[in-house]
Amino acid sequence: MEGHPLALHDVMFIPALVAQASDEQNKKWLRRAQRREIVGCYAQTELGHGSNLRKLETTATYDVSTQEFVLHTPQITSLKWWPGGLGKSSNYAVVVANMIVKEKHLGPHSFLVQLRDEITHQSLKGITVGDIGPKLSFNAIDNGFLGFDNYRIPRTNLLMRHSRVEPDGTYVKPPHAKINYSAMVRVRSHMATGQGNFLAQALTIAVRYSTVRRQGFIESGEQEVKVLDYQTQQHRLFPSIAKAYAFTFAGYETIRLYEQLLKEVDTGNVSLMADLHALTSGLKSVVTHQTAQGIEQARMACGGHGYSQASYISEIFGVAVGGCTYEGENMVMLLQLARYLVKSVEQIKAGESGKLGPLVAYLAVKVDGVDLEKGVEEYMKAFQHVSRLQTWKASEKFLKLLKSGEKREVAWNKSSVELTRASRLHTRLYIAETFKRSVQEVADPRLKEVLTDLLHLHVNYELLDMATYALEDGFLSSSQLDYVRDQLYFYLAKIRPNAVSLVDSWEFSDMQLRSVLGRRDGNVYENLVAWAKASPLNKTDVLPSVEKYLKPMMNSKL
């Protein structure tokens, strides 16, 4: 759970080489990285800048006389800060720096940089590197800092799959402005499945414990009921079970789109790039935020014992919540998606709906009404409506401010809350649609029935959560929302008999969960007592602090 020092070597360093290094460069480096003859990380974030890549301060200035790039950290805020594996493990890094050629700033580009000697592992001259210290979690990973003092690397260490610098300094730009961000797009694509996994672990613990814990009565004369039989407990946990499945399905779909993008980019087709960059920004934000909320609800659903480290949910939370800030702070991610949504609205207003990407084509289509009793497809239309409504509302506010004479960034700031709401709704629509498509593709009829119940629970829960938007323009009536509530409660009850099987299907072992509360055998109380007795404080009956501090205090005449 605490991670592994080489995790980022596999998750970011190698994929960055695959996506951004040329075939010739990968003949030299990729095989060595795959064999772990060299260990690498991905160094982008700086002490003073993270998500605003255009403002990264590390420079890579091309020296045409030596055909080298000179990497330099001009000030303290320019230090690379946070890259996983950088502190002590890596001897190479893919470094993102602002490239300067012939005194022209060409924006962020990626370079392969050796940091440490391959034999002694000593840092090289001109390199300052180290660990940034303890964190909330993930402390097995050596997140680090990195600085350069006019450090020289060969011209050919610029990753050149999509752009390159010739020996004479001629710059050949990439086919798409954001193509060099593909490594981040990949990581954000995989984050949805990873976060779904964290949420699934916490829910497995909470659901199992909720079938062991008995508290109170529903009908007199019976034994105390399992807390999972309370509707409030079901409402607390079951929608998050649906989300864990939904996030996993959305992640798989987005990974497939990313792999399709890589193939198309090599043929010169970059049409998916803008759609996918925007989508993964929103997906990363919504999924990590809702995962953190779901894990915390799972902890509280375990009552007082959930606060004990014996539950292990607090450890899961500590790891998962980091996703809200790493690989892009969530609000910034939502605003990146919002720029794409506003651009799409502008295209529609200009009569260019045909140019819209497939994920935003619905913004040009007005939905007049829905009959929710006809099924999930009608819910999708409702989600499209509320997303379209909010996107147009936020975009019109921004464009109106621009028209009134406000500077673009001032107008953007004044519209930003409404814009982030639009981004969330757009992303939640995508998650619901991928959930629906994934369930439709399931062949096993019994499995499909259970997953269909989860899908129905998800869409009813989500639509209730979006009710303000649906009521705003009268799209849904109060009687329709009453129907949605009734459906939500119906599916809570229907899912109850399958709840344990749904979490057990994730097949987490007791060793993986490390939870006394979430044991597969259900022997919670005996093992909770054994866990407590094993505390280091219980190795002796009387602690040394009694003689040193407590007795003098109790015997004093104060």
CA 395 to CA 338: how far, in whole Å? Answer: 9
Query: Could you tell me which residues come within 8 angstroms of residue 295 by beta carbon, excluding any fewer than 6 positions away?
Result: 198, 199, 202, 313, 316, 317, 320, 321
Question: Distances from the Cα of 207 to the Cαs of 215, 314, 400, 461, 504, in angstroms?
Answer: 15, 16, 49, 19, 10
Amino acid at residue number 398:
F
The parts of the chain modelled with pLDDT lower than 50 are none
Query: Could you tell me which residues come within 8 angstroms of residue 269 by beta carbon, excluding any fewer than 6 positions away?
Result: none
- 481, burial (CB in 10 Å: exposed 0-12, middle 13-18, buried 19+): middle
CA 201 to CA 509: how far, in whole Å? Answer: 10
Q: Are 336 and 278 in contact, with CB atoms under 8 Å apart? A: yes
Task: Sketch the domain layout of the chain as residue ranges.
Answer: 7-173, 177-352
pLDDT of residue 540: 94
CA 2 to CA 421: how far, in whole Å? Answer: 33
Write the pLDDT tens digit of every residue in 200-231.
Answer: 999 999 999 999 999 988 887 778 999 999 99
Query: Could you tell me which residues come within 8 angstroms of residue 360 by beta carbon, excluding any fewer than 6 positions away?
Result: 275, 340, 341, 344, 426
Q: What is the DSSP letter of 279?
A: H
CA 353 to CA 339: how far, in whole Å? Answer: 17
Q: Are 270 and 175 in contact, with CB atoms under 8 Å apart? A: yes
Known binding residues for FAD: 45, 84
Class in CATH terms, 177-352: mainly alpha
SS3 148: strand
pLDDT of residue 1: 64
Residue 133 CA neighbour count, 13 Å, CB half: 0
What is the token pair recorded at 300?
A: 């509280």
- Indicate the CATH number of 7-173 among 3.40.50.1220, 2.40.110.10, 3.40.50.300, 3.40.50.720: 2.40.110.10
Q: Are 55 and 49 in contact, with CB atoms under 8 Å apart? A: yes
Q: Alpha helix locations (H) across 5-105?
A: 7-8, 14-20, 23-34
Amino acid at residue number 208:
R
CA 66 to CA 248: how far, in whole Å? Answer: 49
Residue 208 CA neighbour count, 13 Å, CB half: 27
* Strand-pair partners of 114: 92
Q: Give the catalytic positions in this structure.
A: 327
Looking only at the bridges linking them, the beta strands covering 80-81 and 164-165 are unpaired
Q: In what order do the strands lie in the sheet with 80-81?
A: 80-81, 144-148, 127-131
Instruction: Report phi then psi at 152, rounded to 5.
Output: -100, 140
Question: For residue 253, which of 427, 18, 383, 447 has the smallest C-alpha distance?
Answer: 427
Question: Distances from the Cα of 90 to the Cαs of 87, 146, 156, 170, 184, in angstroms?
Answer: 7, 11, 21, 32, 19
* Strand-pair partners of 113: 93
pLDDT of residue 2: 67
Q: pTM (2 decimals)? A: 0.93
Known binding residues: 45, 84
CA 85 to CA 89: how far, in whole Å? Answer: 5
Ramachandran area for residue 219 (φ above 0: left; ψ -120 to 50: alpha; else beta) = beta
* Strand-pair partners of 152: 70
SS3 20: helix
Question: Distances from the Cα of 46 to the Cαs of 43, 79, 179, 265, 550, in angstroms?
Answer: 8, 5, 21, 29, 48
Q: Are 530 and 538 in contact, with CB atoms under 8 Å apart? A: no
pLDDT of residue 189: 87
Question: For residue 81, which of 143, 23, 6, 36 has the smallest C-alpha distance?
Answer: 143
Instruction: Reduce the secondary structure of 195-219 to three states and give it as a string.
Output: HHHHHHHHHHHHHHHHHHCECCCCC
Q: Are 247 and 289 in contact, with CB atoms under 8 Å apart? A: no
Q: Are 265 and 291 in contact, with CB atoms under 8 Å apart? A: no
Write the pLDDT tens digit of every residue in 241-282.
Answer: 999 999 999 999 999 998 898 888 778 787 788 889 999 999
